[in-house]
Structure 1
Amino acid sequence: MLSTVGAALAPGIAILSYFYLKDKYETEPLHMVVKSFIMGILLVFPVMVVQFGFQEELHLGVFAQAYFSAGFLEEFFKWFIIYYTVYKHVEFDEPYDGIVYSVAVSLGFATLENFFYLLSHGVSTAFYRALLPVSSHGLFGVLMGYYLGKAKFSPASKQRWFLVLSLFIPVLLHGTYDFILMVGGTVWPWLMIPFMLFLWMVAIKRSRAALNRSIAAAFGQHYEQEEAEKI
């Protein structure tokens, strides 16, 4: 059991640490990040119930399972929690913060899913799970957080558009990920490898852009404070 818990936790903690430690200028309070991670874990239960209900009542096809049951429902629940618990919080005070908290919630969700899977299929599948399901959830979280950060610090006229993108893009990517697994047959690895490489490249690029905006905002604020003190 301990080996299963460790194998389930390790990839999520590693990916979260990577994105958390990138924010070297104004690191988020650790207790807030841990709280977001735990909320992601707890989200698994209501999502499973809702997914089961839709599948039983509507008998969803492959496309609907991928883009609605997996993509929309899972990403919407994450987005909803982040928006109402973190987005309006005083600690969300720079663009990169959206990425930190979204990744924390997403990886909390992925970690419990990973634990259930390893419990059923064995620790031998842990490497595959770390490379694909866990990391993909984290990367969906990067993109969700990137656009939440854009919304938070953009003019009011653009905020709604970025909020829409913060949900739409993760849903689209998550649905595509599941669709590849469902219909890829024996060639699914050859479809998944370029998809995951693309996802990593986009996520890294967006995280750097958010971090650069946060650094620029921090230095601008410090400069203004110094000038005000001189006056």
Structure 2
Amino acid sequence: MLLFSVLAAAIAPGIALLAYFYWKDRYDAEPLPIVIKLFLTGALTVLPVMIVQRALTLWLGESPFAFSFLISAGIEEFIKWFVLFHIIYNHTEFDEPYDGIVYATAVSLGFATLENVLYAFTETVTFGMLLARALLPVSGHALFGVFMGYSMGRAKFSSGRRSKLHLALALALPIGAHGLYDFLMQTVPSRWLWIMVPFMFLLWLRGIRSVNRANAISPFRLLKREEEVKP
């Protein structure tokens, strides 16, 4: 019973956050089988990412900056970006900017959920610690996915240099946010870790703003309006 409770506590935050961003798609919900596939794909990337990160740690050392921006954020966000670009970017179901957010958060939360499960069963944890992880790293991964998906959605429906710029931002923005998160967690003294509360609040503000902007430029928004005004 305890095993099941710990497993549920480790998995629930990722599922809840994915459901939240999935339901924020106002105009054309994505097929659940594709979303689930990307969630599971994100989970499958955990092991290879851990192997690469271990190798880079042995090579680059464990300085806070190198670990935060290169070993942790750099590798994790690049793998997520690579998966999205090669699996879903050119898919026919990716037909509005908000789809990028749905698919990117699916990959990110698949990764975060398995990472959370591994943490729960390899460390001595309490439910309070799992709650803290739900509020910090798991929701952090969701928001990094929002930043990636928003820019990837803009890239998909742009052309030329603007498309390339947004594709670059789809990688650079989550690496920057993720790296800063990890850097603060490593360098700020424990008695000052309350600073993560306003930091996460700012991330959420930016994330919700991206969600609203992506919905606002959906081509299905105009179609829905036209249907509503038809007699």
Q: What range is the shorter-chain TM-score in?
A: over 0.9
RMSD: 1.6
The CA distance in 2 between the partners of 1:145 and 1:55, in whole Å, is 28
Q: Which runs of 5+ in 1 are unaligned?
A: 226-231
What's the counterpart of residue 9 of structure 2?
7
What's the counterpart of residue 149 of structure 2?
145
Q: Letter of the aligned partner of 2:196 in structure 1?
A: M
* Cα shift readout 1:62-119 (whole Å, capped 9, x = no counterpart): 1100110111100000000011001111110000000000000000000011111111
What's the counterpart of residue 38 of structure 1?
40
The CA distance in 2 between the partners of 1:223 and 1:192, in whole Å, is 41
| Partner secondary structure for residue 121 of structure 1 | coil
1:221 CA drift (Å): 5.1
What's the counterpart of residue 228 of structure 1?
none
- Given that 2:42 and 2:109 are in contact with CA atoms closer than 8 Å, whether structure 1 keeps it comes out as yes
The CA distance in 2 between the partners of 1:22 and 1:127, in whole Å, is 23
Q: Which runs of 5+ in 2 are unaligned?
A: none
- Given that 2:26 and 2:215 are in contact with CA atoms closer than 8 Å, whether structure 1 keeps it comes out as no
- Given that 1:3 and 1:123 are in contact with CA atoms closer than 8 Å, whether structure 2 keeps it comes out as no
Q: 1:73 to 1:188 in 2, by over 3 A?
A: farther
Q: Paired residues, what number?
A: 223
Alignment counterpart, residue 188 of structure 2, candidates 175, 184, 189 = 184
- Given that 2:10 and 2:113 are in contact with CA atoms closer than 8 Å, whether structure 1 keeps it comes out as yes
The CA distance in 1 between the partners of 2:26 and 2:211, in whole Å, is 13
- Given that 2:148 and 2:171 are in contact with CA atoms closer than 8 Å, whether structure 1 keeps it comes out as yes
What's the counterpart of residue 202 of structure 2?
198
* Cα shift readout 1:193-213 (whole Å, capped 9, x = no counterpart): 111010000000011100111
Alignment of 1:71-150 (within 5 A): 71-119=73-121, 120-124=123-127, 125-150=129-154
- Given that 1:87 and 1:152 are in contact with CA atoms closer than 8 Å, whether structure 2 keeps it comes out as yes
* Cα shift readout 1:2-44 (whole Å, capped 9, x = no counterpart): 1122111100011100110111321000000000000010010
What's the counterpart of residue 69 of structure 2?
67
1:59 CA drift (Å): 1.6
TM-score, normalised via structure 2 length: 0.92
Alignment counterpart, residue 213 of structure 1, candidates 214, 217, 220 = 217
* Cα shift readout 1:151-186 (whole Å, capped 9, x = no counterpart): 000122310000000000000000000000100012
What's the counterpart of residue 162 of structure 1?
166
Runs of 4+ in 1 over 3 A off after TM superposition: 219-225
- Kindly, what percent of the aligned residue pairs are identical? 47
1:191 CA drift (Å): 2.2
| Partner secondary structure for residue 149 of structure 2 | helix
1:222 CA drift (Å): 6.8
Q: 1:206 to 1:223 in 2, by over 3 A?
A: closer
- Given that 1:98 and 1:148 are in contact with CA atoms closer than 8 Å, whether structure 2 keeps it comes out as yes
The CA distance in 2 between the partners of 1:146 and 1:102, in whole Å, is 9
